[in-house]
Amino acid sequence: MNDDFHNRLTAMVESMPVFPESVHQVMTMTADINCSPKDLVKVIESDPVMTMKLLKLVNSAYFALSRNIASIQHALVYLGMNTVKNLAISIATVDALPRKSIPELPMSEFLNHSLATAAIAQRLAKEQLQLRDVSDHFVAGLLHDFGKAVLVQYEPGMYADILKLARQQEMPLAEAERQTIGMSNAEVGAMLAESWQLPDQLVSCIRGHVDCREDSDDLTLTVAAANHIVKLMGIGDGGNPAAGEFPEFMRERLGCEAGDIIETMDTLGDEVRVMQSLVR
């Protein structure tokens, strides 16, 4: 990658819409086990747009609650802190998506892929790894491919050619990206996550999920496995159709095959489409 492109890439990342300060505060507060729900409510309600969108989501048929939720405080009571956090980050993520699209990677399909990856990563963390706090796995799954959104936004023609190359040559997309621009979309996504001042573990996961290894941490493992499963299920489009079976280390650490998870996720596609229509 030459210096000119690196400078352009840095400018691209810095030009992407930033997460609202309220979302940063929500992420920081919910990472603290001593977080006060009352303080969290104050932070969210300080952002009227976020409050309005959250209440719209909470009162949708997707959650099918027995009563109308009129405040963020009630939303926390009925859905819990982690669910509210995930919804806030989902809304902010959608707001940061490019308004333009390319035929090789439509943003609506990209969002479907990202939401499905988030849902499965969280499920793998909870059910296969038996982890207690799994909300970060949802967030990491949602943001894992966001480097592609940067490239679609600022270099649509070049990135369309890279996507075509990967498909024509049947090579992993990250390999086509490295051959063409000297780095993968995962590395671009990590640059964006750093620019957004996201937690270090999340930045590391975004950077490393395309090269998941036996010694990768649990967050990277669940996102890489979820990404793999979503491609096999054909939900949305992450621009990289190459899948196949789980590597042996992934099967051993998760205690399952990809097909075992797919058998239990027959309604996921419908759920993702409903969620996309809501967060958009």
Taking the mean position of all CA atoms in its chain, how far away is CA 192?
13
- Integer distance in angstroms from the first to the last C-alpha of the chain? 35
Q: How confident is the model at residue 39 (pLDDT cuts 50, 70, 90)?
A: very high
pTM of the model: 0.90
Going by C-alpha positions, the residue among 31, 34, 44 that lies closest to residue 71 is 44
Whole-Å CA distances, 29 to 32, 82, 85, 89? 5, 11, 10, 13
Mean pLDDT score of the chain, rounded to an integer?
Answer: 90
The predicted pLDDT at position 82 comes to 87
Q: How confident is the model at residue 66 (pLDDT cuts 50, 70, 90)?
A: confident
* pLDDT tens-digit series, residues 180-215: 999 999 999 999 999 998 989 999 999 999 999 999
In terms of pLDDT, which residue wins out, 192 or 133?
192
* pLDDT tens-digit series, residues 158-181: 999 999 999 999 888 999 999 999
User: Could you state, in order of their start, the residue ranges of all structural domains in the chain?
Assistant: 3-279
The predicted pLDDT at position 2 comes to 65
Going by C-alpha positions, the residue among 112, 88, 77 that lies closest to residue 27 is 88
The predicted pLDDT at position 278 comes to 72
- In CATH, what number does 3-279 get? 1.10.3210.10
